Amino acid sequence: MTSAGSRAARTAAAVVTGLAGAAGLAAVALRDPHVPGSWGTCPVLALTGLPCPGCGGLRATSDLLGGRPLEALGSNALAVVLVLVAVAVWAVWALAAVRGRPSPVPRLVAAVTDRRAVTVAVLIGLFTLVRWVPGVGQVLGP
Instruction: Compute mean pLDDT per 10 residues along the chain, 142 residues long, and list them.
Output: 70 90 93 90 88 90 94 91 89 88 67 73 89 77 70
122 and 39 Cβ atoms separated by less than 8 Å? no
Distance CA 128, CA 2 (A): 44
Q: Model-level pTM?
A: 0.78
21 and 86 Cβ atoms separated by less than 8 Å? yes
pLDDT at 107: 62
Evaluate the omega torsion of the peptide bond into residue 142 and state whether it is cis, within 30 degrees of 0: yes
Distance CA 80, CA 17 (A): 19
